[in-house]
């Protein structure tokens, strides 16, 4: 998922978005600033997914536009359970309090 421009971590911490970029063979260190990583990196991620989805077995992506390749649908099932749907991932979140 795309990070917010205000979603900065302390120096030395690996941002989860770096891991997403690296998973798709995008060098996250190529961006000169966090702002560049968030904006250019998001565009680069869309292009890389478009380019490499067939080799990764994501046949269902052939009819998707760029936003559908990277943006997630977020659904609240119960007050404490949510799901996010991406073309290459499903994320379940729950609150056990």
Interior CA angle at 33 toward 27 and 37, to 5°?
A: 50
DSSP 3: P
What is the distance between the alpha carbons of residues 58 and 39, in angstroms, rounded to a whole number? 24
The Cα 95–Cα 24 span in angstroms is: 30
Q: How would you write the pLDDT of the chain (97 residues) with one tens digit per residue? A: 667 777 777 777 888 888 889 989 999 999 988 889 888 998 999 898 888 888 888 777 777 777 777 777 777 777 788 887 777 777 787 877 6
Edge-to-edge strands, sheet with 81-86: 73-78, 81-86, 89-94
Q: pTM (2 decimals)?
A: 0.70
Q: What is the pLDDT of residue 69?
A: 74
CA distance 53 to 57: 6
């Amino acid at each position: 998922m795309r990070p917010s421009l205000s979603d900065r971590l302390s120096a030395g911490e690996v941002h989860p978005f770096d891991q997403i970029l690296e998973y798709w063979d995008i060098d996250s260190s190529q961006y000169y600033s966090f702002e560049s990583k968030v904006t250019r990196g998001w565009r680069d991620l869309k292009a890389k997914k478009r380019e490499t989805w067939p080799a990764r077995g994501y046949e269902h992506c052939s009819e998707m536009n760029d936003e559908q390749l990277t943006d997630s649908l977020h659904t609240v099932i119960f007050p404490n359970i949510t799901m996010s749907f991406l073309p290459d991932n499903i994320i379940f979140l729950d609150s056990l309090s």
